[in-house]
Structure 1
Amino acid sequence: MSNSARFLRAFSSSLFSIMGLMMGVGSIQAAWKPTLSATVDHNDNVTRSLRDEKSDFAAAADIDFSTLRILNRDWQGHLAGFARTRHWQDWSGLDQTEAGVRTGLRRKFGLGPYAPRLDLSVEGARVFAATSPWTGHRLAASLRLQRRFTPIVTAAASVALDRFDARRSTYSGTGYTAQLGADLDLTREWRLALSARFREGDRTAWCRESWPEITGGPHWQDGIFGGDWFPYRARARTSGVTASLARAIGSSTTIAASIDASESKASKGRNYSTQVLSLQFIHVF
């Protein structure tokens, strides 16, 4: 196991323990609040391949139950349980469902809407995959600094560390992501969100044995894409940008459309690009 994976596991265990204690002694407790989201998206390169890309549509549903504790004037803690599922139209071997918990701390520096906020969050989940060797456990930790500068503009910077342990090491990996973003509240109903990110870490992609770049004999095939497609793990650097336009409908419902474009550079010249178009419905009960 890599040093970053060991650190993430130890850090996650410590924070979950601390948050369990804090949530028990917090002064004010809000009720558990469920949030439901449904998403339809199109990915033009689900294989993450350098050519012969496979595209597909997916439908996803998420349910999140969260509660909040006010620890004192400056500190808040939260705890949540969640479940997520995603089904692909053509390549059902990519289907995954996960269930997990998330906990975190928020530190607010000052009073009022323009005070900076620092969020520390950890989550762990069990992932169930349609392709059995892909089933495993996921851990993630993130640190996010956010500040509202004007009634219209809010900016944020974050860094995250993630680890996935699957039954087969081809699907396992560790990585970190750095992101910068800004939200523009155009009106009371409309919000434009822009972000840019950089990720370095292990990625699972698919390749074909018939390609001249592939040497070393036959490889283990997971059967997701049929033929001579096989999965492999590579260290990659990914740069991406996202733009989202959201429309609030009342105080509890939001509809958002987004586009995400990214480019990854992996070892041995196995570079690929991906574009994802999404339409999302979110409702807070």
Structure 2
Amino acid sequence: MKLGGRLACLAFALSTLHAWAAPFDDLGVELVYDDNLTRAQLGRDIKGDLALAVSTSGGPRFQLGDHDSLSLKGTLVATKYRHYDGLDNINAGLALGYRRKFGLGPYVPQLALTGSAARLEYDSRLRDGWLYAAEAEASKRVSDRLALRAFVRSERREADDVPERVVPFIRANVFDLGSRSAGIGADFAYDPRHLVSIGYTWHRGDIVSTTQRNLPVFLASSAIAPDPVFGDDTYAYTMHARTRVFSIGLSRELSRQASFSLGYEYRDSRADGGIDYSGNLFRATYLYGF
């Protein structure tokens, strides 16, 4: 498998990251179930699957003054799906962040600016490429128990290869995508060990849906390519859509270094041409900080 062949090289990068930034590293193990991986509308096309993801991240932080800091963070994530091997992936990324505290003490507002780039390597070559993102987040702790946050984010994804066109006048680079999003959220600690998080995100931009031949989806698409990950006669379509995401999570501190959390997300997308879909995502995460 292509993914397994690249694992050794990325493992070397991971070991270098640990040696370079060990005091900042963490390790995460996450089990995720997505009941609509295909982002499809019709029951015949909706596919769900369970995935296991292992991640690590780390990097130095530089204090620029009493209120400003700069950070450089590397991440490595490996994900394995139970049924759809073509979605198995290893992603490696690097993020540069700037944080500003507008005063002293725990209750002053903060602003964080982050730019990142990630390399995406899938067993499905169609999905290989790069992901670039820029984000601004404002946050404020209101009390000992409650913190609020809001963010805006812009993403650009670029695919390595362009398959042959299915239709001569429609492009085939389905994973060349752009989007913008904005969101709000809150974290509430109802006791020293438990944290409840809620969030709402509004997303506008390109999405990819994989279905069998579908005329309404075809007419609403800006790009089309064969996508054999989900079957021999399935196609990936790029569409412009508006998506709302509602999320809620519960986290428990297991020790000074470890935590366990459960999360749920509901997605509702409305694409051009009257195409819409919804989906549910469930996750269980264990995080350990070194």
d(CA) in 2 for partners of 1:212, 1:284: 50
Q: Residue 205 in 1 paired to residue 209 in 2?
A: yes
Task: Kindly state the Cα deviation for residue 270 of structure 1 after the two structures are TM-superposed.
Answer: 1.7
Distance 1:78 1:220, change over 3 A: closer
Counterpart residue type for residue 107 of structure 2: Y
Determine if contact 1:147/1:155 at 8 Å carries over to the other structure. yes
Distance 1:34 1:121 in 2: 19
| 1:90-127 deviation line (CA, Å, top 9, x unaligned) | 11112221112111100000110001110001111111
Identity of aligned residues (%): 25
1:234-271 residue CA offsets vs partner (Å, 9 max, x unmatched): 11110011000000011110100000001001122221
| 1:188 maps to 2:179 | no
Q: Normalised by the size of structure 2, how large is the TM-score?
A: 0.84
Q: SS where residue 130 of structure 2 aligns?
A: strand
- The correspondence of residues 107-186 of structure 1 with structure 2, limited to 5 A, is 107-167=100-160, 168=162, 169-186=173-190
Quote the Cα distance in structure 1 between the aligned partners of 2:70 and 2:149. Answer: 19
Change (3 A) 1:113 1:266: same
User: Residue deviations 1:20-63, cap 9 Å, x none?
Assistant: xxxxxxxxxx9641111110011110010001211110111111
Find the aligned partners of 1:199 and 1:220 in 2 and give their Cα distance: 24
C-alpha separation in 2, matches of 1:257 and 1:154: 19
Change (3 A) 1:214 1:254: closer
Q: TM-score if structure 1 supplies the norm length? A: 0.86
Which whole-Å CA distance do the structure 2 matches of 1:138 and 1:144 have between them?
A: 19
Aligned pair in 2 of structure 1 residues 220, 159: CA closer, same or farther (>3 Å)? closer
1:195 is aligned with what amino acid?
Answer: G
**Structure 1 gaps, min length 5:** 1-29
Secondary structure of the residue that 2:39 maps to in structure 1?
coil
Give me the whole-angstrom Cα distance separating, in 1, the residues matched to 2:250 and 2:231. Answer: 37
CA distance in 2, matches of 1:138, 1:272: 24
Find the residue that maps to 1:178 and give its secondary structure.
strand
Query: Which residue is 2:95 aligned to?
Result: 102
2:41 aligned partner? 50
Instruction: Specify the alignment match of 1:221 in structure 2.
Output: 226
| Alignment pair present for 1:270 and 2:275 | yes
Query: What amino acid is the match of 1:151?
Result: D
3-state SS of 1:213 partner: helix
Report the counterpart of residue 12 of structure 1 in structure 2: none
Contact 2:225 2:237 in 1 (8 A): no
- Aligned AA (2:240): R
| Matched AA of 2:189 | D
Structure 1 contact 199–238 (Cα < 8 Å) conserved: yes
In 1, Cα distance between equivalents of 2:192 and 2:59 = 25
Distance in 2 (CA, whole Å) between partners of 1:252 and 1:156 is 24
Separation in 2, partners of 1:31, 1:127: 24
Match of 1:71 in 2: 64
Q: Measure the CA separation in 2 of the matches of 1:149 and 1:179.
A: 18
Off by >2 Å, runs of 4+ in structure 1: 211-216
The question of whether the paired residues in 1 share the 8 Å contact of 2:22 and 2:58 is answered with no
Partner residue of 1:234 out of 236, 239, 258:
239
Partner of 2:55: 62
